[in-house]
Amino acid sequence: MTPTPFVPDYGDFFQQERHSNVSSLIVEEAGAPGDASVARKLPGHSMVLAAFSHYCKAKLETWSHTGSFQSSRVQDASLAWPLGPLVALFNYCKAKLAPWSYAGAYNSSSTEGKLQVLLPVPAGQQELAELLVKGMYQAQPTITDGLSQLQLLQLMLLADRFGVPKVQAAVAAALNTVDVQHIDWDAAVELLQLPPSCAQQPEFEAVRQVAVQQVQQQLGDLEGVWADPARQQLLLALPCEALMQLLQDDTTCVATENTVVYTIERWWSAQDAALQHAEHLRALMHLVRMRYCTPYYSGTVMHQSSPVQQSFEHAALPLMRECCTTGGYARLQEAQCLVLHRYPAWVAEQRPASARQPVIEWRLPLASLRAAVDQLLSSGKAATYDFSDTYLPAGSIRLVAATISVLSLRKAASLKNKFKKRPMSAELASWGFSKLVPLGAARSWQAVKAELYRQQLVHGDAASAAVSDQDDSLHLNIQVKVETLL
C-alpha cells in the first residue's frame, strides 16, 4: 500500500519574521524595478518557498549568498514517509525552534543580508500574489473563499506562473462548484485560454467543460451569431484560444463550411494589428473542413482571400476547389494526396446543420420606391421595376441564392419569385429578381401604387383603406429566405 504523502502546515509562519531567512518581494510588472511604492515585501522561509513553488526553488538553488546559508540543500517538504513518526518529529521541532533566534544570515530581527525572491505580477494583483504565498504555507490552501470567478482565474494563472500545484488544485476545486448557468462570460472566456499546465489538471477538466458549454450556448450556431449584432461582438472579442475551441467543437453548427472561413476572416480583421499573430491565423484556418466548402466559394472568394493565402502552402491552394467538387475528395484520397495528411481538418466529418433558417426581413418605404419609379418613368420606360441591392440590409451580400417574397396582407397569398443561383460580389450593383411584383405597363406612380394596393402588398396604418397619398407611412414588407450563403 502506497503511503499517503505528508504535507506539513506552516501556516503559523506566514508573514512572521521568526526563522525567516529570505524575503518575498511582490512587484507589479507595470512599476519600475526597485520602486518600493509598488512593491510588497513578505518575510520568507526558504524551506517552504522551495518546497512548494518550482519558481522559488529554481531561484534559491541558483543564487549564491554570503554567510552560512546554502539554498541548494533545501529539501522538498512533501515526502512519502510514515505519518506517525514524521508528524511527531515535525511538531517537536516546531515547538523547540519557536523561541530561538539565529544570528548572522538567520537573524530574525533584521531583513538585512537576506536573499530576495522577486515575484513579478500583473498590475493590480499584488493581493492575489500574497494569497498565493499564503497558500504555499498551508497544508490545504483555504485562500479561495470570497474571491470572484475572475479573481480565481487570475490566482490560477499566478499559481501556474510560479509553479504552485497545490494552489492550482485548490482553485480548480473552487471553480468546479460553479454552475454553468451562473458562470460569468468573461470568466468562461478566460477559462478557455488558460495554459495547458492548468487546463490539463484532472481537477480542472470539469470546470473547463463548464466554460465550453457557456461559449457553445452563446456562439455554437454561427449562422445565428451573424444574424445577431450583440453575439457578433462577443465572437469578435474572443481570444484566439477560445475561438479555436469553438471551431474545434463537433457540435458547432453552420449552414455551410463557408461560414467558418467567413467567421475567421471577420475575427482576424477585427483584431488590433499589434495583436495579430500569423500562427494564430494559420491554426484557425487549418480547422476549416475543406471538403464541405462550396466549389464556387473555394474557387473564387478563398482563392482571392489574403488570410487564406497566408495560411496554406502554395501547392495546397489549387487543391482546395478540387476537394470541394463532386468526387474531388475521393480522387484526392485515391491519389493519396499529401495535403490530406498535412491538414487533417480536410478529412473531418461535416458539422451539424444550423437550426436557423436565415431570414432577412425589412420594410421598403413606398416613398423610396416612388423615387425609383419616378426616375424610371422619367427615362421614358415603363415601370417594370427591378429591385436592386440598394434596398438590401448591410451584410446581406453573403447571399448566393434565396427566395424573395413581398408579403401581402394575407401572408399565405404572398407573391414569390425564386431567382437563379448566380455569382455575387460586392461590385455587383444589381443582382436581380426582376419583375418580382408584376406592375404591367404603368405610366405613372399613381398607377403603380394602385396596382400594389390591388395585390394587397401595401402595409401601414392606411393600408386597408383606399389608395392613400401618404407614402411616408406606408411600406412593402420584403422577406428573404436564404438557401445558400456565400
DSSP characters over 86-150: HHHHHHHHHHHHTT----GGG-TT--TT-EEEEEEE-TT-HHHHHHHHHHHH-SS----TT--HH
Tell me whether residue 194 is in a domain: no
Around Cβ 484, how many Cβ atoms within 10 Å?
17
Closest Cα to residue 351, out of 283, 238, 255, 432? Answer: 255
Please check the confidence at residue 83 and state whether its pLDDT lies above 50.
no
* Rounded Cα gap, residues 250 and 256, in angstroms: 14
Burial 381-416 (b: 16+ CB within 10 A, else e): eebebebebeebeeebebbbebebbbbbeeeeebee
Tell me whether residue 141 is in a domain: no
Structural domain boundaries, residue 323: 259-347
- Of 1-5, 96-100, 418-422, the range with the lowest mean pLDDT is 418-422
- The helix or strand, by DSSP H or E, that contains position 199, with its residue range, turns out to be helix 196-199
Tell me whether residue 306 is in a domain: yes
Please check the confidence at residue 119 and state whether its pLDDT lies above 50.
yes
Are 369 and 458 part of one and the same domain?
yes
Are 328 and 369 part of one and the same domain?
no
Last residue of some domain: 105, 122, 139? 122
**Most confident of the ranges 12-16, 208-212, 262-266, 352-356:** 262-266
* Rounded Cα gap, residues 424 and 397, in angstroms: 7
pLDDT tens track for 15-58: 888 888 888 889 988 644 555 446 888 999 888 999 899 999 98
pLDDT tens track for 372-403: 778 777 776 655 544 444 444 444 344 445 55
Are 410 and 314 part of one and the same domain?
no
The residues pairing with 364 across neighbouring beta strands, listed in sequence order, are 476
Last residue of some domain: 103, 122, 141? 122
Tell me whether residue 380 is in a domain: yes
Please check the confidence at residue 359 and state whether its pLDDT lies above 80.
no
| Torsions phi, psi for 335 (to 5 deg) | -80, 0
Tell me whether residue 149 is in a domain: no
Are 325 and 363 part of one and the same domain?
no
Are 372 and 473 part of one and the same domain?
yes
Are 303 and 417 part of one and the same domain?
no
Last residue of some domain: 101, 122, 143? 122
Tell me whether residue 8 is in a domain: yes
Are 339 and 425 part of one and the same domain?
no
Give the pLDDT of residue 421: 37
Contacting residues for 138 by C-beta, under 8 A, at least 6 apart: 9, 10, 11, 14
Q: Average per-residue pLDDT in the chain?
A: 74
- Of 78-87, 254-263, 348-357, 406-415, the range with the lowest mean pLDDT is 78-87
Tell me whether residue 151 is in a domain: no
Four-CA torsion 220, 225, 227, 230, nearest 10 degrees: 140
The cell for 347 is: 478529412
Are 399 and 341 part of one and the same domain?
no
Are 321 and 365 part of one and the same domain?
no
CB burial class (10 A; 0-12, 13-18, 19+) of residue 472? exposed
Is 281 within 8 Å of 307 (Cβ atoms)? yes
Give the pLDDT of residue 91: 53
How many domains in the chain? Answer: 3
Tell me whether residue 477 is in a domain: yes
Give the pLDDT of residue 378: 79
Are 377 and 430 part of one and the same domain?
yes
Are 363 and 459 part of one and the same domain?
yes
Give the pLDDT of residue 244: 95
- The helix or strand, by DSSP H or E, that contains position 41, with its residue range, turns out to be strand 39-44
Is 48 within 8 Å of 10 (Cβ atoms)? yes
Are 334 and 273 part of one and the same domain?
yes
